[in-house]
A and B are shown apart, each in its own frame.
Chain A
Amino acid sequence: MPHEKTPDPSRGAAEPLLRIRDLHVSFPTDDGTVHAVNGMDLTLGRGETVGLVGESGSGKTVTSQALMGLLKETRASVTGEILFDGTDLNALDEDRMRAWRGKKIAMIFQDPLSAMHPFHTVGAQIAEAYRVHNKVSRKAATAVAVDMLGRVGIPDPKRRAAAHPHEFSGGMRQRAMIAMALVCEPELLIADEPTTALDVTVQAQILDLLGDLQRETGTAVVLVTHDLGVVAEVCHQVVVMYGGQCVERGAMRDVFRDPRHPYAQGLLASMPSLADTAGRLTPIPGFPPSLTTLPAGCLFADRCPQTHLVPDDLCRSARPELAGSAAHPSRCHQEVHAIQREAAR
């Protein structure tokens, strides 16, 4: 693994906080190797929010696990570069990675009820997360935890800190989870479907809270979600994932206004719209590809309604690269060969 300290001239204000280059993750199983992530790229600046969007099995969660280094010491094989603040996380060993987890990179989970320990009080769990990285007494850590609970908008934090997770409502629990993740003031927060388990009104509150805390602390956020509405609300950047690849990325507005990849187009078309009340939603036909035997061509080819626009059956014989404008590339042969695509619409 390249571990050299590259004298990077571009390092400085322009250097992004996180740069993932050509990340591959595969898991050996009895049924063959599952290729969960196949060449993922991602760039994220300080204080920015990027949305990782895709359906189940598109590699969003595995990407975030690889980012946290949670796949170390497992049978998973992780290759590629995860440059965080200039350090390749993938080259760190478990012990050094552990020192970074929580302190520099933290994570919140979809279901805070199962992500918090049922027997310990909420305050004790937040205090424990703080004590892992800060040598302070239990008492001092509890004070920090109470303070943090207040900051995430839990009323009467002192009393609530002594309660167990199951005594919290769903929204309060997610707030507590956020408090636990942010207690060491990490530079990067990975939010793995943080609002999926919540109802819509609470969802909005939690997203607002995340936004507020982000402005307050300058934490960058990777928001993993399949909810395009959530992305539209909070993200600066969007990365659309399919089959463990980034199939399209760009600024939130650009991707929503002008999706380049047929899959992104399909995702947006399958979203209910307030403006267009006529008729049924348009689903994307078919299923995601089997991750054990990846097709030779484009991973989306079997479900793509636009393969006929590409000559020589390229879609099924060659895997496209990310192409198009640097700010908004997509992984489609139409983009590669600059095919006039307006006809397809």
Chain B
Amino acid sequence: MTDSPVLPSRPPSGADGEADGPAPAPATPPATPSAGGGAAVTARSLLGTAWLRIRRSRIALAALAVIVLMVLFAVLAPLLTGIEGQDPYTTRTSPDVLDDYGTPGLPLSYYRYPSGEHWLGLEPGLGRDIFARMAHGARISLVIALLSTAVSVVLGTVLGAAAGYFGGKVDMVISRIMDLFLAFPHLLLVLSLTPILQSRLGGTALDRGSLLPIASLVIILGFFGWAYLARVVRGQVLSLREQEFVEAARSYGASHRSIILRQIIPNVMGVVLVYATMMIPTNITAEAALSFLGVGVKDPTPSWGQMLNAAQAGNWYLTDPWFLAVPAGALVITVLAFNLLGDAVRDALDPKSSRG
């Protein structure tokens, strides 16, 4: 789970070559002539250029579409399950629904697979609606992944920028903390800390939809993800603070705060963005892994990882592989989409790739 994306070097902060020249033919297939024609030289920021390049890559667009769909799926979960007419918590254990004989709890085949009534079938054992649990689970999985990434990004950017900008003792302290965090065996620590944190925050008996596991996962994943980003940001800032525009800002009397916020941070946003898009899928899998291992989101609250855990717990994956395939498939598709988008963002922000 230690994902170390190869990060691009900082795009030229408007160094020579920014303003000039017709771009070589882009390596990405169909170059829409309207988008990048030299005729309209309008104000185009680095992010603007990157967006143009992303728009031109089919893979990136497909990945983006998948992500948007997944986010919509999560956001609209109550609406979608309302249309379906189901909810994620109702159990159905009557013998009409769940097998009573050979494999007790296995849904009868009408209920096991997608139908008009239950769009993705029923869960074995408790007979809850899989579609409803997937939709509500998506909310929790994505919220945990996005929030923990946000925590990491904010911590990493602020601490990395402070270390790089101020140097000296500040840098020493922050860098040693970074080293400490990077040196810890991640998974072990998270595994052991999560239950402790959960019990500290308010006991282990969890109600449905309890925010506790979400909060604890966000804190834990966010808190252990910032060190690598901080180190990257620190390195960038180290060279940025020697740039003349920083000296120029000092020479007109700007404060440290304003220099960090207005001069330095905008220049590391590219790297931070790339890192964030790579960190989101890592955190989705981390949430799933932790829930699968039983320290994350717990039944009855649904999350994709919790559903994988349920499929594994009763050996249901042997008799009802469908129940395993649904959350696993969603997880794979989502993580793949985020990774592909992350790659595309990285390429798009890399000034050395052919310009758009």
Contact = CB atoms under 8 A, between A and B. Distances in A.
Given A100-B253, A119-B266, A70 B14 contact: no
Given A102-B251, A164-B43, A167-B43, A132 B244 contact: no
B250 A101 contact: yes
Interface string A98-114: 11111100110101011
A178 interface: no
Nearest to A162: B43
A70 B251 contact: yes
Contacts of B244: 109, 111, 114-115
B115 interface: no
A223 interface: no
B251 A118 contact: no
B354 interface: no
B263 A68 contact: no
Contacts of A121: 43
Nearest to A121: B43
Interface in B237-289: 243-245, 247-255, 258, 262-263, 266-267
Interface string B338-352: 000000000000000
Contacts of A68: 250-251
B266 A117 contact: yes
A48 B115 CA distance: 88
B41 A167 contact: yes
Interface string A191-204: 00000000000000
- Name the interface size band of chain A: 35 or more
A82 interface: no
Contacts of A303: none
Residue among A98, A107, A114, A128 facing the most chain B CB atoms (10 A cut-off) = A114
Nearest to A183: B252
Nearest to B46: A119
Residue among B41, B249, B255, B258 facing the most chain A CB atoms (10 A cut-off) = B249
Contacts of B18: 118, 166
Nearest to A169: B19
A98 B266 contact: no
Contacts of B353: none
Contacts of A102: 251-253
Nearest to B255: A98
Contacts of B262: 117, 120, 128
Interface string A47-71: 0000000000000000000001010
B251 A101 contact: yes
A211 to B, nearest CB: 22
B258 A132 contact: yes
A180 interface: yes
Contacts of B41: 167
Contact of A166 (B19, B245, B249, B255): B19
Contacts of B39: none
Contact of B245 (A101, A115, A181, A184): A115
Interface of B: 13-16, 18-19, 41, 43, 45-46, 243-245, 247-255, 258, 262-263, 266-267
Shortest beta-carbon contacts, A-B, top 6: A118-B14, A102-B252, A102-B253, A101-B253, A129-B252, A107-B251
Interface of A: 68, 70, 98-103, 106-107, 109, 111, 113-121, 128-129, 132-133, 162-167, 177, 180-181, 184
